[in-house]
Amino acid sequence: MAIDFKPLQENINIHFHDSYFLKQAFTHSSYVNEHRRKNLEDNERLEFLGDAVLELAVSDYLFKHFPDMKEGEMTKLRAAIVCESSLVKFAEALSFSDYILLGKGEENTGGRYRPALLADVFESFIGALYLDQGIEQVQSFLDKHILSKIDHGFFSQMKDYKSQLQEYVQQDNIGEIEYKIADEIGPAHDREFHSEVRIEGKIYGLGIGRSKKESEQEAAKKALIKFGVLKAE
């Protein structure tokens, strides 16, 4: 399957010097597994790098543009910006799903629009852009497509339950929080994660999601409900 990345590059007004980085950012492991003879590399390592670059770029922006914002507030806002639900919205707005290289199994089960996969692709793209053109171009891209939304209240409704739970636990000195993946169910292309959140060894919440991050967020939400911080829906 050949995908033309020119429309994407024209849409974001960024043209990669090395097109290999761009293609790798959109190459899912399921596609690599089905095309082993093509010497392809999936986007998992780029996702790892992009996650770190994204946090740094967002932290730098908040530090410089909000001099009166306290550390705790910056932490909450950054968490809302880089959480899975936000990354999915960014990927969807830029039509990233149109460019993902998937294996047939993943494609047939709707993987192209799976939230966890879209969030991973967005992070991979950030990693690829960083390798190709450096942190300045990453910052410019984020300023234009994401960080400018802060002033319009785009992130005010985002709920980062893990940060809320951390703040509550620290405030009341309840103990140390630990997240644990209790189970993984289903094939690689359609996996379901089950997470536990423990405080001082005691389970306070169980969460299920299509990614580890999503399941941990759900577990944290359940813990907040148990503490009475949130109301059960």
Of the residues 115, 133, 152, which one is the last residue of a structural domain?
Answer: 152
Of the residues 152, 180, 202, which one is the last residue of a structural domain?
Answer: 152
| 185 and 113 inside one domain | no
Q: What is the CATH number of the domain that holds 215?
A: 3.30.160.20
The C-alpha atoms of residue 202 and residue 179 are separated, in whole angstroms, by 11
pLDDT digits over 174-212, tens only? 889 999 999 998 877 678 899 999 999 999 999 998 788
- Tokens for 203, please give them: 């389970």
Asked if the model's pLDDT at residue 230 lies above 80, the reply is: no
Asked if the model's pLDDT at residue 158 lies above 60, the reply is: no
Cβ contact 200:174 at 8 Å: yes
Q: How confident is the model at residue 156 (pLDDT cuts 50, 70, 90)?
A: low
The C-alpha atoms of residue 148 and residue 93 are separated, in whole angstroms, by 14
Question: Distance between the two ends of the chain, CA-based, in angstroms?
Answer: 44
The C-alpha atoms of residue 24 and residue 21 are separated, in whole angstroms, by 5
Q: Has residue 177 been placed in a domain?
A: yes
pLDDT digits over 26-63, tens only? 999 999 988 877 778 999 999 999 999 999 999 999 99
| 90 and 170 inside one domain | no
Asked if the model's pLDDT at residue 97 lies above 90, the reply is: yes
Q: Has residue 91 been placed in a domain?
A: yes
Q: How confident is the model at residue 98 (pLDDT cuts 50, 70, 90)?
A: very high
Q: How many domains does the structure of the chain reveal?
A: 2
Report, as an integer, the average pLDDT of 54-78: 90
How do 192-199 and 177-185 pair as beta strands?
Answer: antiparallel
Q: Has residue 13 been placed in a domain?
A: yes
| 108 and 220 inside one domain | no
Among residues 51, 160, 216, 218, which one is catalytic?
51
Among residues 42, 123, 132, 216, which one is catalytic?
123
Q: Has residue 233 been placed in a domain?
A: no
In the three-class reduction of DSSP (H, G, I as helix; E, B as strand; rest coil), residue 43 is classed as coil
For residue 175, give its domain range: 161-227
| 117 and 187 inside one domain | no
| 56 and 127 inside one domain | yes
Asked if the model's pLDDT at residue 231 lies above 80, the reply is: no
Report, as an integer, the average pLDDT of 116-142: 95
Reading across the β-sheet that carries 202-209, which strands appear in turn?
177-185, 192-199, 202-209
Of the residues 152, 178, 198, which one is the last residue of a structural domain?
Answer: 152
Per the annotation, the verdict on 233 as an active-site residue is: no
| 11 and 103 inside one domain | yes
| 113 and 18 inside one domain | yes
Tell me what the pLDDT averaged over the chain comes to. 88
Query: What pTM value is reported for the model?
Result: 0.70
Per the annotation, the verdict on 184 as an active-site residue is: no
